[in-house]
A = this chain, B = another copy of it.
Amino acid sequence: MADSRILLGVLGGLGPMSTVYFCELLNRHTAARCDGDHIDMLISSRASTPDRTAFILGESKNDPLPVMLEEAHRLERAGVNLIVIPCNTAHYFYDGLTAGCHTPILNIIRETIVHLSALHVRRFGLLATEGTVKSHSYHRLCEAAGLICLTPTEEEQRTVTSIIYNQIKQNKPVDREAFRHVTDNLRARGCERLVLGCTELSLLKKEGLGDEIFVDSLDVLAYRTIKACGKTPIGFPASFETEANR
């Protein structure tokens, strides 16, 4: 790559479809008149990375961190200057990854919380994998920002988990009524925004959720990535305009 351009590294495959959707977001939301205006990137989609949630919950001893580090090093050796990981659950391993790499890694959870703060949100609901919920990846960063993070009840969480693992990851139709039941309850508990804190759920938004209450962590990561690569983001939801001069 020319020295003046950033080569973006995408540590992906977690899952494969949301990695593709993330790259689609980057391309669709970068101001471009021709191919050459887009971001140069190298995308590792290592679908065979051990399941993150199963390891976090202690259901599997198959640690994904060494595999993720191997892929991060593959990207580093290939010359990337910046790494992004379009998967929230994988950020449980963020400290281990940054300790083992010399390339900066954008943090999707931190960036989402910064975005919520910019929107003056005080209380939000988190829709995510059980791995992300139980490991308190969002909660820990929320406390410092003075934000309150509410999560679904245990029964509701089982619904969310099933939508992610048994429906979206298997390319099957999503039970939108069950999803709405969960989100209605979070609204009733006073959530000003609902965060799609699992990039499989971003695929649900891709098909249309049609409601400004949702903040998609993958949108936030795409927006920040485009800016970090020196490009101009276009066509993001209106909530991003409040950040235009950030």
Using a CB–CB distance below 8 Å, which chain A residues touch chain B? 1-2, 5, 13-17, 19-20, 23-24, 27-28, 32-51, 74, 77-79, 165, 169-171
Q: Is the CB of A43 within 8 A of B45?
A: yes
Give the docked Cα–Cα distance between A20 and B222 (Å).
15
Query: Residue A13 contacts which of B32, B38, B45, B47 (CB distance < 8 angstroms)?
Result: B38
Query: Residue A42 contacts which of B17, B35, B45 (CB distance < 8 angstroms)?
Result: B45
Give the docked Cα–Cα distance between A24 and B25 (Å).
13
Q: Closest 8 interchain pairs by CB?
A: A38-B47, A43-B43, A15-B35, A16-B38, A16-B27, A41-B45, A20-B24, A20-B23
Contacts of A39 in B (CB 8 A): 16, 45, 47
Q: Is the CB of A14 within 8 A of B35?
A: yes
Q: Is the CB of A169 within 8 A of B35?
A: yes
**Contacts A17-B27, A27-B20 given; does A40 touch B35 at CB 8 Å:** no
Give the docked Cα–Cα distance between A144 and B76 (Å).
44
Number of copies: 2
Chain B residue with minimal CB distance to A200?
B35
Contacts of A48 in B (CB 8 A): 1-2, 5, 35-36, 40
**Contacts A20-B23, A40-B46 given; does A13 touch B35 at CB 8 Å:** yes
Contacts of A1 in B (CB 8 A): 46, 48
Give the docked Cα–Cα distance between A89 and B23 (Å).
22
Give the docked Cα–Cα distance between A32 and B165 (Å).
12
Contacts of A47 in B (CB 8 A): 35-41
Q: Is the CB of A34 within 8 A of B77?
A: no
Q: How far is the CB of A49 from chain B (nearest CB, A)?
A: 7
**Contacts A20-B20, A38-B16 given; does A170 touch B27 at CB 8 Å:** no
Give the docked Cα–Cα distance between A27 and B170 (Å).
10
Chain B residue with minimal CB distance to A74?
B78
Q: How far is the CB of A81 from chain B (nearest CB, A)?
A: 14
Q: How far is the CB of A232 from chain B (nearest CB, A)?
A: 14
Q: Is the CB of A16 within 8 A of B35?
A: yes
Q: Is the CB of A51 within 8 A of B35?
A: yes
Q: Is the CB of B40 within 8 A of A13?
A: yes
Most interface-central of A2, A19, A20 (chain B CB within 10 A):
A20
Chain B residue with minimal CB distance to A29?
B171
Q: How far is the CB of A167 from chain B (nearest CB, A)?
A: 12
